Structure 1
């Protein structure tokens, strides 16, 4: 999809919140959306921000609800699932191998096991119907 045609089709809107992790948007294959595409979900704060130095309007702040990947595409809509996740840290276990006769010796080999944590999915932050969506 060309950049010009992308700009004319976005922002899109959230049309349904399936659950905290999944939303449906009003753009689909007709608009060039493909499975795996990445999107930013946000809302526009109503307060217009003014530059305190120049007095110039800076516009309205886009408040991010999260990011997601397209998991299903239809002609006029697409399903987006949150792709943010957090890792809770990894566990490192160290154990010593016993020496001869079951006695520990100072040069006994140490074995280290590293357990990588599962990544925990993060939900969209209070996503609402009519929130905005744009490609990232």
Structure 2
């Protein structure tokens, strides 16, 4: 009896297609939490998707061993929003991230109940890049770039 080996069919996916993200722009600010994106269901946007609102500027990273050499650049993320309503040519998205505050009666009495974000310590005499930005650099505005945000 002759054995037949079947090769599994492997669907080839172009790396670019697998890594592509939906991009658009902020079309309108509805309030301090909600905005309109100029991409909708026709572009593949659906409820629950997340988008990073980015600055048009990028932050250049220099090599600490050779400060004259730029080793790359990073986008400046202003905020992350989640789509709550989708229409064919637009989507409404709003901010959603919160970090729970400290529970307990003692903390409440001490006024330590506000939501907070864990931070690492910055070496003395050094400044983070974000600290060098003005409020205008981080403010969200019409025309800002939005890019689909995928958790790794």
Looking at structure 1, the residues matched to 144 and 72 of structure 2 have their Cα atoms a distance apart, in angstroms, of 20
Considering only CA atoms, is the larger Rg found in Structure 1 or Structure 2?
A: 1
Instruction: Tell me the number of residue pairs that the alignment of Structure 1 and Structure 2 aligns.
Output: 105
Structure 1 regions of 5+ residues with no counterpart?
Answer: 94-116
1:25 aligns with 2:37: yes
Q: Which residue of 2 aligns with 1:42?
A: 54
Q: Which residue of 2 aligns with 1:58?
A: 72
The runs of at least 4 consecutive aligned structure 1 residues that moved more than 4 Å come to 117-120
Structure 2 CA distance for partners of 1:87 and 1:28, relative to 1, 3 Å:
same
Q: Which residue of 2 aligns with 1:130?
A: 143
**Aligned Cα RMSD in Å?**
3.2
Stretch deviating more after TM superposition (74-83 or 61-70): 61-70
Q: TM-score, normalised by structure 1?
A: 0.61
Question: CA shift at 1:57, angstroms?
Answer: 6.6
Looking at structure 2, the residues matched to 40 and 10 of structure 1 have their Cα atoms a distance apart, in angstroms, of 11
Contact 2:58–2:75 (CA under 8 A) maintained in structure 1 = no
